[in-house]
Homo-oligomer: A and B are copies of this chain.
């Protein structure tokens, strides 16, 4: 809690309740400390808070290394105008199995779990509790809350480790995720603002539609990046929703819109695509400096523009 008066404090929406991985992501944001944290029930609500002014920013999960792109988040960003990604955060995905006080692991038969969490622990469950059955839950916190408030018949729940700080539950097993390296990527989203200054370790997020369905449109889109030496760290297709076989592409590209090569690629993409959404250029969570061939450096672009200007004015050759 802060002594700052509410009027001057900033509000951050996140998928609640307390104890979710999203809350852990928000805890990584220095500017969010001591501000108002507003728990919401889904990503659409979080983004609507921002668009409609109830919050200054929203933290949302955008991708995880096991389950892939969070399609509801990608689709919301594709269809809600006025938003801009301003930061990226990584949270290791760890799961615990918890029960009501006194429960023993060998007695567990019904397991409550959010479907994504369930999928990520399936190997452990199959080996440890071969006869279990699954009851879907709305979140990695709701699964455990149901045990305590009596609304769930489950014997145990899969939850994030943070649950132990919030609820009186018994820890039955920890580290039950099937992939020890699992991590979820979150982004902090604000209303449209000018991009922050480049740091050298930046990422640019985009959503683009293809002009039409011919055997080369996607190829041509990707060439906009490849011919400027830009690597893509994410390329996901999402159905536009009007017909099978019509997709938009969610793209994360290495670099910043203020890098000459990225600006040039964005121009090419805009000319090519019937619809491009620029979601933002922001520092990467892993702080990895972007490497690229010298011939795509800013001064090469500047020099070429000077050369062209000279040609147009009839200056002697250089």
Hey, which bits of chain A sit against chain B, CB under 8 A? Answer: 44, 63-69, 71-72, 81-82, 84, 90, 115, 119, 122, 134-138, 151, 153, 179, 181, 183, 185, 192-195, 211, 213-216, 218-220, 222-227, 229-239, 241-245, 247, 257-258, 263, 266-268, 270-272, 277-278, 295-296, 300-301, 303-305, 307-308, 311-317
| A277 to B218 Cα, complex, angstroms | 22
| A138 to B137 Cα, complex, angstroms | 9
Contact A266 B227 (CB under 8 A): no
Contact A185 B247 (CB under 8 A): no
Copy total for this chain: 4
Among A68, A312, A313, which residue has the most Cβ atoms of chain B within 10 A? A68
Contact B236 A237 (CB under 8 A): yes
Whole-angstrom distance between the Cβ of A238 and the nearest chain B Cβ: 5
Contact B218 A235 (CB under 8 A): yes
DSSP majority for the A interface?
A: mixed
Contact A225 B215 (CB under 8 A): yes
Q: A242's contact among B153, B181, B225, B308, by CB below 8 Å, is which?
A: B181
| A257 to B314 Cα, complex, angstroms | 12
Contact A231 B244 (CB under 8 A): no
Q: List, in ascending order, chain B residues with CB within 8 A of A81's CB.
A: 316-317
| A307 to B257 Cα, complex, angstroms | 12
Q: A257's contact among B71, B185, B312, by CB below 8 Å, is which?
A: B312
Contact A65 B301 (CB under 8 A): no
Contact B233 A245 (CB under 8 A): yes
> Contacts A231-B213, A272-B295 hold; do A244 and B65 have CB atoms under 8 A apart?
yes
Q: A314's contact among B193, B231, B244, by CB below 8 Å, is which?
A: B193
Q: List, in ascending order, chain B residues with CB within 8 A of A138's CB.
A: 134-136
Contact B82 A71 (CB under 8 A): no
Nearest 9 interchain pairs by C-beta: A194-B314, A270-B304, A215-B231, A136-B136, A267-B304, A193-B314, A65-B244, A81-B317, A68-B239
